[in-house]
A and B are shown apart, each in its own frame.
Chain A
């Protein structure tokens, strides 16, 4: 093992440990601001792993998009919602936590076994052959991934339109008096079901 391989191995290990610890922190800490910052840590460690895999462009995009945009957006959302509410401790909560833990551990064991037993076909192309990953990505975008690449623009356009619809302030129209059909102001025309006592409708709620 020469020096370069050793450095790769050690930094890979450090990044993996960092990723797992921060990810556990995101899930287990109860303060949501800590979780959001730790999520940034997860994204940065993933980007480090991309660099080790010679995917430099993906690593940069990961930091720009996930840390720079998504995570900052999450923090903004948390700061704008400054509503404090103390939740009551649910009785028997540890049963839920324990069962979730068992399911997660089982899933982890299954996936771990799968990763170890499967004979993965490893690409033997040396990374030295590709000198500029951005050019390669560009070639793919304009040849075999052309259709999904272009289609993503329609998807983003519609996501933008949808976000504007959700966020804009609507003029709430006056509910017109009886005019042959029901008219409402931004609600469903169907009336909500009458809420009766729980015992009476236990058969219907499903």
Chain B
């Protein structure tokens, strides 16, 4: 009997309280829908949002917790994981308001959809803190399987079916490759599954670098790059984004990507510390390809969802610059960019959903002359798109300049210059949409804008969308100018996380003039 009491004392289960709150919300939603029936759609989404916000509050109170390791090392609640879990929970909390109307208008049931989305969030949150191979795999699968289900949610639409099948097949093969790499790590470390233990034993066993470690690295990166849709592993992105319900696209482009980056940081910095030169090299290649291909192919797109798909590939390329820099500033610029990217991308997707619900299309040419019919959406979409492009007073500009500054400090001049050039290219395709909406004369309006319905925010499900849109737009416009709190938050989270500090010491030896200037 003393086995259980021994174990229970060491679990430190309070660390996963935020996830516990999300699980509880999930249960309330599933059981509530079961008892009340379809009418429950009136209050269920708000329960979900409230649960997610409570979970963020719980995360706030766990900041700087003295003993972050929970479940005998399976889960780590250090500040890095808290920031990423917060980003993922926040992205779902902002995504849910835009799903309500969209899902109800398509005649599918809302409660199950929100349940699946919460499970995906849960998978992402656990993935951000997972410190052990089995845990990493289970939470990765949780995130992926819920994403496949959400992608295929519009059952009678062949595009949705195609997207779900494609995503499932490519995702399953990438999970298999990832699992192979992970099993190699298990074998090389002599049967350890904890990342810290693996990092400690691999140098003793292999005596430095080995072919096995290199192959494990390549396979693991293939799995991670699929999640963040970096370029050679991006083929699924445009088709899946086009065929899935738009709120799912919003979640995939923000929450799922943030989880992928959290996994990348934790695994590469701890388990693959021995081959850090190699993974820096691979990620440099991935970043170059993503920035170039994402931005160039986005130029040719005619559908808004496909354009945002390629834009999200390119944005992942920019975020990778921070990962490759490998300094404190690099990691914190990544987190900062993901935070502002959350608001600007979700704001843009809310506008795309509103337009699609009112006109039934997402072709870029159909946006022509929208300014005359609906100035509010035009303004919000313009702000979000210009911020994604990186136009000065908006948040995206500050996020990008911080990333590029961190990259420049780390001596990656070529990569930063390429980033600058490709972000100039990206401004072209974002501005094309803005121009389409604003500059056209009334007689040049497209058919759908001519038949634009009366704007009515009082319809069921429209009010939350309006609130979500306003919050995203305000955050997008002000997060850049008033960035100091966010900046302090991200820097603190990086400097107080032990795994990043032990790795950064090795990296920072050559450049010792790393003064962090807090003025932007």
Spot the interface stretch: A19-27, A29-37, A148-156.
Answer: A148-156
Does A186 belong to the interface (CB within 8 Å)?
Answer: yes
Known contacts A158-B115, A184-B106; is A190 also within 8 Å of B142 by CB?
Answer: no
- Decide: B107 and A185 in contact? CB cutoff 8 A: yes
Chain A neighbourhood of B149, CB < 8 A: 158, 162, 165-166
Residues of chain A from 2 to 57 with CB closer than 8 A to chain B in the complex: none
Asked whether, in the complex, the Cβ of A161 is within 8 Å of the Cβ of B297, the reply is no
**Contact status A189-B160, CB under 8 Å:** no
Q: Return A190 CB to nearest CB of chain B, in Å.
A: 5
Q: Does A132 contact B (CB under 8 A)?
A: no
Q: Which of A59-67, A69-77, A86-94, A109-117 contacts B (4 or more CB under 8 A)?
A: A109-117
A180 interface residue per 8 A CB criterion: yes
Residue among A121, A170, A204 with most chain B CB within 10 A: A121
Q: Determine whether the beta carbon of A180 is less than 8 Å from that of B454.
A: yes
Smallest beta-carbon distance A22→chain B, Å: 19
Q: Is A181 an interface residue (CB 8 A)?
A: yes
Residue of A nearest to B107 (CB): A173
Residues of A within 8 A of B246 (CB): 190
Known interface pairs A166-B152, A190-B305, A190-B362; A158-B116 also in contact (CB < 8 Å): yes
Q: Closest residue to B19 on the A side, CB-wise? A: A151
A77 to chain B, nearest CB (A): 14
Is the Cβ of B188 less than 8 Å from the Cβ of A120?
yes
**With contact pairs A111-B215, A161-B116, A186-B156 given, residues A144 and B360 touching in the complex (Cβ less than 8 Å):** no
Tell me the B250-272 residues at the A interface (CB within 8 Å): none
Q: Measured between C-beta atoms, what is the minimum distance from B130 to chain A in Å?
A: 9
Assess whether B145 is interfacial by the CB under 8 Å rule.
yes
Supposing A118-B188, A186-B157, A187-B160 touch, asked if A148 and B112 sit within 8 A by C-beta, the answer is no
Chain A interface: which of B67-75, B317-325, B373-381, B507-515? B67-75
B71 contacts A144, C-beta separation under 8 Å:
yes
Taken together as a complex, chains A and B put the C-alpha atoms of A185 and B159 apart, in Å, by 14
The answer to whether A172 and B115 touch across the interface, beta carbons within 8 angstroms, is: no
Interface residues of A in 136-166 (CB under 8 A from B): 139, 142-148, 151-152, 154-155, 158-159, 161-162, 165-166
Contact across chains for A166 and B155 when beta carbons are under 8 A apart: yes
Instruction: Give the secondary structure class of B's interface.
Output: helix
- Given the known interface contacts A158-B115, A187-B106, the answer about A119 and B206 at a Cβ–Cβ threshold of 8 Å is yes
State A146–B6 Cα separation when bound (angstroms): 14
Query: Which segment, of B49-57, B133-141, B283-291, B390-398, faces chain A?
Result: B133-141
Q: Do A192 and B159 contact each other (CB < 8 Å), given the known contacts A139-B3, A180-B453?
A: yes
Asked whether B170 is an interface residue with its Cβ less than 8 Å from the other chain, the reply is no
- In the complex the two chains form, what is the Cα distance from A187 to B107 in whole Å? 8
Question: Knowing A158-B149, A162-B116, A181-B105 touch, does A187 contact B156 (C-beta < 8 A)?
Answer: yes
Specify the chain A residue showing the minimal Cβ separation from B189. Answer: A121
Whether the Cβ atoms of A186 and B116 lie closer than 8 Å is no
Q: In the complex, how many angstroms separate the beta carbon of B302 from the nearest chain A beta carbon?
A: 6
Contacts of B26 in A (CB 8 A): 154
A residues near B45, Cβ cutoff 8 Å: none
Known A182-B358, A186-B106, A189-B106; judge A147-B135 contact (CB<8 A): yes
Shortest beta-carbon distance from B468 to chain A in Å: 16
- Closest A residue to B293 by beta carbon equals A206
A170 to B107, CA, bound (A): 9
Contact A189 B3 (CB under 8 A): no
Knowing A119-B207, A144-B71, say if A181 contacts B358 (CB, 8 Å). yes
Query: Which residue of chain A has its CB nearest to the CB of B148?
Result: A162
Taking the complex as formed, is A193 at the interface, i.e. its CB lies under 8 A from any CB of chain B? yes
Q: Return the chain B residue nearest A138 by Cβ.
A: B3
Residues on A with beta carbons closer than 8 Å to the beta carbon of B105: 181-184, 189
Chain A residue contacts of B159, Cβ below 8 A: 188, 192
Query: What separation, in Å, do the CA atoms of A113 and B357 have in the docked complex?
Result: 56
Asked if A191 is at the interface (CB within 8 A of a chain B CB), the reply is yes
A199 at the interface (CB under 8 A from B): no
Shortest distance from the beta carbon of B102 to any chain A beta carbon, whole Å: 7
Are A148 and B135 interface neighbours, CB within 8 A?
yes
Contacts A147-B16, A170-B108 supplied; 18 other A-B pairs, CB < 8 Å:
A114-B215, A118-B212, A120-B190, A121-B189, A122-B190, A144-B73, A147-B75, A148-B138, A151-B139, A154-B23, A158-B142, A172-B156, A181-B459, A182-B105, A183-B107, A184-B107, A188-B160, A204-B300
List 21 contacting pairs A-B, 8 Å CB cutoff, sorted by A: A110-B215, A142-B7, A144-B194, A147-B16, A152-B138, A154-B119, A158-B149, A161-B115, A162-B145, A170-B108, A181-B357, A181-B459, A186-B154, A186-B157, A187-B106, A187-B154, A187-B156, A187-B160, A188-B154, A188-B157, A206-B238
